[in-house]
Structure 1
């Protein structure tokens, strides 16, 4: 119990300090674009009602979930194939490096031509950016599978789907989750960017509307909501990661305790 409380204190210490600094630094501000934190917090409950959360935040989360899930499936599947076969990797690597170098926001107008301006476009934009860290980390994770472990599995007759699930993906799991973690932050950024183009709802759309209407405190409340959403998703991701990679974290803890 004490350990949990200590971790909670450490987790909340820096945010508390930053909020305090922001409160003090902005307390006497008369700048239209930099309102006092007190003003922003007072506007928060009036702006982000249950109806607005349902109308703007929920669609954003659904788009992010769809694009992120699509990127995870495609990235892990392609990464496993590319990482497992040297010749496939040699053929695909130049193309992958070219496509990875293209910033996803640049592709928004192109994707709009083919996918329209609806949710399909936004999900595609999110997936097009999230897929690269997942794909590349999966490739490296599969390539790094211990040859002795792979040979032992083969000698015991563990082949096909069982080998893929119990040896390859399990060994590459820590690196795959590293890519998924990177993809999550990229997905949040692309979610906002995609909603700034031809959208009628969503967090990105709402923040831009506040800015265009010079409702600056309301705009800042939208930024706070975006930050809180990122924090909640990060916590959920950590819980899933610890659940799936429990064996890995157990090994690391044992290694730290051993003399």
Structure 2
């Protein structure tokens, strides 16, 4: 990528956020509303609220880190289970027909509805929150994996059988790799769901976490602090999306080359 294209990409990526921030800043500059304070006030509140000294006792450490730990645990469990089950179901027409009605039933149940039920079985601790995140994240990963495996070219499967490719090699180099664009799509959708469920699960019977802290600010009418927590959630979402893209880019390099070759041959 040339320097000019790189600069253009950065400008395009930052243009809309800067416009929105400037609009928020100037439209609320003279705000006297208790519930919608000026953005300047929220920004001034951010540092003492989340980054006060000493650093070891800041809310970033005591609230954000536990939230991220639960998010990553639930997300990774959903990723492993979703890809594993998706490959098995997508590879077998009989298993797919057997499980499809059940999958459609459970995917239609909103994960927050299950929080009171999970509290009965898993308690009110970290385990319950991880299960909520996992339950919500597994469906986009599972369903996209099933469709990705189903969409594999039958000629590739026949070629692998003709060359007597070992099952483990076929699994990783043919099935999972061939379905990886769909798997990545499901994983990207699940990441957004994980952030939402992380916050919702921490609003029920919790004593730490970003969701718990934001609700506490709201209940104590610390409105600028509440808004600063919402902004922090958005920033964490951006950081996680950038990390996801940094992993996705090399993982799907082969797919981008394949698509370019297809367009070049047309």
What TM-score does the superposition give when structure 1 sets the normalisation length? 0.98
8 A Cα contact 1:242 1:249, kept in partner = no
Question: Which among 73, 86, 90 is matched to residue 83 of structure 1?
Answer: 90
The answer to whether the 8 Å contact 1:210/1:218 transfers is: yes
TM alignment of 1:108-257, pairs within 5 A:
108-256=115-263
Residue 24 of structure 1, CA deviation? 1.2
Secondary structure of the residue aligned to 2:116 is helix
Q: What SS class does the counterpart of residue 30 from structure 2 fall into?
A: coil
Q: What does residue 17 of structure 2 align with?
A: 15
Counterpart residue number, 1:30: 32
Of 92, 99, 107, the residue aligned with 2:106 is: 99
CA distance in 1, matches of 2:41, 2:82: 44
Deviation at 1:257, TM superposition (A): 5.4
Q: CA RMSD in A?
A: 1.1
Point out where structure 1 has 5 or more consecutive residues left out of the alignment. Answer: none
CA distance in 2, matches of 1:119, 1:53: 18
1:77-127 Cα distance to aligned partner (Å, 9 max, x none): 001101000111111011111101100000000001111111000000000
5-14 vs 186-195, which moves further: 5-14
Match for 2:47 among 45, 48, 70? 45
Structure 2: stretches of 5+ with no match in the other structure:
none
Please tell me whether the aligned partners of residues 84 and 142 of structure 1 are also in contact (alpha carbons under 8 angstroms). yes
Residue 142 of structure 1 contacts residue 168 of structure 1 at CA under 8 Å; is this kept in 2? yes
Compared CA separation, residues 126 and 250, structure 1 to 2 (3 A): same
Residue by residue over 1:109-159, the C-alpha shift from the partner in whole angstroms, topping out at 9 and shown as x without a partner, is 000111111100000000000000000000000000100111111111113
Distance 1:256 1:215 in 2: 55
Give 1:253 deviation, angstroms: 3.6
Partners in 1 of 2:25 and 2:260 — Cα distance?
Answer: 39
Q: Paired residues, what number?
A: 259
